[in-house]
Structure 1
């Protein structure tokens, strides 16, 4: 039942990754679902309270889970933590620590210090998750391509979240001038193109497929940066699903 619980958490909390995971072969799906559900749980931990200290405690709980996995100790009973322990090795567990720590930004209202701090935040979050996703599927190389792909995907997802983050009192962009947003989007497209040139390991394709919407979103942001602050980067539902279906049938990402 825990795997089904992970699937439901993912379906509600991250529909895109849910669809991508469900497009994967059954064996790969069983390894991706706990990892993606973990990401959902960590991502929402800072938002269930207005108290930064409580948010820190919730994030520490997940850091403790990763410590238990990394050290080979019994993992606390939890529908996601239990399944996660079955797919992560010690190295992968330690590599996910920055992902949890990056979520501390969500608990506070300070802006990013500069563009470098913003990019480091994306690398620690989406970049680490992409590399971990590939690792649980058995991929041991392709780190540079996976990091670039994770960054680009993370940037696309961040752009989509900007209006809500602003509504919640956050300052999500280091520079929200249209020309700066467009340049940031172009930098994401460069990273995505680099990942495609280098290629990801064959085992990692189901994980890479989670980025199937990235190019379209970043291209819109580059062409019409005002849509980042205003919203409006989303595809039509039929186009969104059709793009994933085509990639799944072709065995591509």
Structure 2
């Protein structure tokens, strides 16, 4: 039960966030990897279970774990629980942010289409948006960064969602409401505005959105690329983009 174990989970299951976290120093990585590992465990809980009831039990496990962290109880015997508890307590993170992430994942169990783009936006705000804001807080960000952090988190979440559309379709989930083009444009504009903020030590957290702009731009230019799975770009461009941002101090 260590940060290294969390990092290994993230490297395998969420390589984009792993790479962005690695642009930060040891202290930043020690705060980010437990949060990213928690997010990974919660995100995959509805998908790895053979029955919805098992998925519900997995999600409830994490709600109970968060409640116990808040009550100061010893961490559960799970490789992510103890590092997560340490990060939450050291950074003074509000547990409701993380609890809302778990609650939102019940939608993944139901596989029901989102009624409209607003419903998809709410889902992404509660998952990727809350994760980004919690990550920024963990690195010392203050209230002035909440709006740009949430905009960046929403953009990262939407970009990932759009790239996952072919897989979600294959699993029987119709993931895109008809009015999603407007959400893509709105989210892209908010991300560009968010990048004007002075982010200081929170920079490694915000770099988790490093692919969002290029993915959203591809989706706007060619909506057919979403269903065809052509939003990700080349591997060279993917890694080169992060390297450029790291060298120039941007996100």
TM-score by length of 2: 0.94
| 3-state SS of paired residue (2:88) | coil
- Secondary structure in 2 aligned to 1:86? helix
May I ask how many residue pairs the two structures share in their alignment? 248
Partner of 1:156: 159
Cα offsets for 1:183-235 (capped at 9, x unmatched): 332122112122123x1531211100111111100000000011111111012
Q: Distance in 1 between matches of 2:94 and 2:198?
A: 18
Contact 2:45/2:59, CA 8 A, preserved across alignment: yes
Quick check: 144-153 or 85-94, which moved more?
A: 85-94
Matches within 5 A, 1:142-221: 142-175=145-178, 180-197=179-196, 199-221=197-219
> Partners in 2 of 1:200 and 1:224 — Cα distance?
32
Distance 1:136-1:91 versus aligned 2 partners, 3 A rule: closer
Following superposition, the deviation at residue 117 of structure 1 comes to 1.4
Q: Give the distance between the partners of 2:237 and 2:23, measured in 1 at CA.
A: 16
Greater displacement, 243-252 / 22-31: 243-252
Q: Where does residue 27 of structure 2 map in the other structure?
A: 27
Could you tell which deviates more after superposition, 157-166 or 186-195?
186-195
1-side partners of 2:168 and 2:162: how far apart? 10
- Does the 8 A contact of 2:149 with 2:194 survive in 1? yes
Kindly report which structure 2 residues correspond to 1:33-182, keeping only aligned pairs within 5 A, or say none: 33-89=33-89, 91-141=93-143, 142-175=145-178, 180-182=179-181
Deviation at 1:162, TM superposition (A): 0.7
- Distance in 1 of aligned mates of 2:25 and 2:111: 41
User: 2:88, 2:246 → 1: CA distance?
Assistant: 25
RMSD: 1.4
Which residue does 1:17 correspond to in 2? 17
Instruction: State the distance in 2 between where 1:69 and 1:108 align.
Output: 28
How far residue 53 of structure 1 moved from its aligned partner, in angstroms, is 1.3
- Segments of 5+ residues of structure 1 without an aligned counterpart are none
Give the equivalent residue in structure 2 for 1:4: 4
**Deviation string for 1:111-136 (max 9, x for gaps)?**
11222211110100000000000011
Partner residue in 2 for 1:245? 243
Which TM-score applies when normalising by structure 1?
0.94
